[in-house]
A = this chain, B = another copy of it.
Amino acid sequence: MATRMKAAIFVEPGRIVLDEKPIPQPGPLDALMRITTTTICGTDVHILKGEYPVARGLTIGHEPVGVIEKLGSAVQGYREGQRVIAGAITPSGYSNACLCGCLSQDGGHGKHGFKAMGGWRFGNTIDGTQAEYVLVPDAMTNLAVVPDDLTDEQVLMCPDIMSTGFSGAESGGVRLGDSVAVFAQGPIGLCASAGAKLMGATTVIGVDGIAKRLSMSRAVGADITIDYHAADPVEEIMRLTDGRGVDVAIEALGTQGTFEAALRVLRPGGTLSSLGVYSTDLRIPLDAFSAGLGDHRIVTTLCPGGKERMRRLMEVIRAGRLDLKPMVTHRFRLDDIEAAYELFSNQRDGVLKVAITP
């Protein structure tokens, strides 16, 4: 086996480059995974632009599909050569946060076991997946075996996009017969729309400004789409719901405008389920919030991880409930990842997601 590998590395704001690194050796709880397919996430673009700080020299990426190359000495229950994925969030399994079900806010060995966003390690606090190999920490908690009948691209959205998007519907508590509005129909918003429909919402409304995304929104589950260039989404949703508002509004972009619109279309007693990564303070308008007396809920969710989550998401795909392959609009070799970043970060050519193969 080679000792060095290619990896997409954060050099400085504005520069992620393909470079060489040693192939890492797994510690006792780790697994070394050979990447067969990975992708670029909007968060990686934030990192590229220097908007989200990571250490220089870090390998970027958090969406791995691959094969177990080598298991740590204490890892049981797997064998080398198995096809696996791991979530973008890799909880330890043993922290206090994990043990009370809060897998994403994992404080690891920390004294009290909680750390904001602590479960997000790939491409954030440890080397990520845009490389030929990646170390998966706490492998027994995180490695999910891919069923033979699913291809890499079929499961490529599970680690982040699908897990995050679905969680928007799940944390929102979507129930049979609900009306749900989803603000922004990028990859995560599309999965939120799909998740809302799969949970039984009967009026799923997708909002975006790009025709192709609105058309994909209808394909994955939206009953109605609103182009915000053509109509005011708040007015339109209130009209569609006969003045009642929606049971659940999902924010899937991360801006004041979409957050506020989501609040304004919520029925009294409804839930705003927020998925976006914000970059400014948020404002809650007094009127949209009924001065605090509207029994509103605002819930936020960071991409759920862990192998059981991955198993469930793969079951959804395997059962034919949702096909996310059309979301992969472009394909690149790892050698060409800089071009992939150029395309993806500029949202050129109608790109939704890219597949990167080493």
Contact = CB atoms under 8 A, between A and B. Distances in A.
A114 interface: yes
- Residue from A118, A202, A280, A283 having most chain B Cβ neighbours under 10 A: A202
Interface stretch (A101-109, A228-236, A347-355): A101-109
Q: Is the interface of A mostly helix, strand, loop or mixed?
A: loop
B283 A281 contact: yes
A120 B286 CA distance: 18
Interface stretch (A33-41, A309-317, A336-344): A309-317
Given A113-B308, A309-B99, A298 B298 contact: yes
B202 A200 contact: no
Given A109-B76, A176-B198, A291-B277, A94 B96 contact: no
Interface string A135-154: 00010110000000000000
Interface in A246-275: 254, 267-269, 274-275
A282 B278 contact: no
B282 A289 contact: yes
Contacts of A99: 91, 93, 103, 141, 306-309
Interface residues of A, number: 96
A290 interface: yes
B281 A284 contact: yes
A104 B282 contact: no
Given A93-B99, A176-B195, A316-B177, A112 B282 contact: no
A358 interface: no
A243 B113 CA distance: 10
Contact of A97 (B98, B100, B140, B268): B268
Task: Name the 8 nearest CB pairs between A and B, nearest first.
Answer: A177-B312, A77-B109, A105-B268, A93-B93, A202-B319, A99-B308, A102-B269, A94-B140
Interface of A: 27-29, 73-74, 76-77, 91-94, 96-105, 108-118, 120, 138, 140-141, 166, 170, 175-177, 195, 198-200, 202-203, 223, 241-245, 254, 267-269, 274-286, 289-302, 306-309, 311-313, 315-316, 318-319, 321
